[in-house]
Amino acid sequence: MAGVALWCQDEAGPYQTVPYPGESWQTLGHPARQAHEYIRNGTAKLLTLFRPHTGEVRAKGVRNAPNTVLHPWLQGELSAILAALPEVTLSEAERPLLARWETWLGHAPREALPPLRVILVWDNLAGHLSYPIVRWLFQHGVMPLYTPLSGSWLNLAESLQRIIGRRALAGQHPETPDEIITWLEDTVAAWNEAPTPFAWAGKRRERRERARARRLAGSAATLAQHQLFAA
């Protein structure tokens, strides 16, 4: 996007140490069984940083995700991402509109800032609005773009996390938070071996529209038949 990378961040969970429903391959007549009793032995969460354009995921499993855990992890991951980006050689006035601070802020920066290099889509939570982390983001060329209230579904990291969680835990019964963390991180590693880019109005939407068109065509044919018989 105009030479500016877009990443989405979110925290998935908490995941509990309970049996998770899900399908699995089993011998005919011998379905997989889950324990009817379980012990609530703590929870785990997944810190996720997702780039929709490439499908790349950076993630870490944790027991909990207060600011003292989330912010240092996010700063470390963003620092690595920024270090890998090409150097900006154009002046602010020469950059595309979507690569200028003023476009996103709605006004010219009130102090000198480094070139804008990353847009960070973030939920509108109190911890994401704290002055130290927001200040750090601006000082490193990262623009936080907050989703509106009740609009966190616009953060594509949530969609990715649903896929990761389902692949890691469906049909399983983790007994410890560490087991959950291992499964989640292993699933992320497998995802990154062949990541799937996310795109608005992409192939999935095309498939949904074709399916909808088929349903409407069937309804129209039925309606036409009724009209014919009625006549």
Asked if residue 216 and residue 160 are part of one domain, the reply reads: no
Asked if residue 154 and residue 86 are part of one domain, the reply reads: yes
**Tokens 């027991």, residue located:** 63
Asked if residue 221 and residue 164 are part of one domain, the reply reads: no
In contact, 8 and 123? CB cutoff 8 Å: no
- Tens digit of each residue's pLDDT, the chain (231 residues): 667 899 999 999 899 998 888 777 778 888 777 777 777 888 999 999 999 999 999 999 999 989 999 999 999 999 999 999 988 888 888 888 888 888 888 888 888 899 999 999 998 888 888 999 999 999 999 999 998 877 777 888 899 999 999 999 998 888 999 999 999 999 999 999 999 888 766 676 777 788 888 877 654 444 444 444 344
For the chain, the domain total comes to 2
Closest CA to 60 of 183, 151, 181: 181
Domain that holds residue 172: 5-200
The residues, ordered by sequence, that sit 6+ positions from 13 with a Cβ below 8 Å of its Cβ are 43, 44, 45, 46, 65
Distance CA 38, CA 20 (A): 11
Asked if residue 208 and residue 106 are part of one domain, the reply reads: no
pTM over 0.85: no
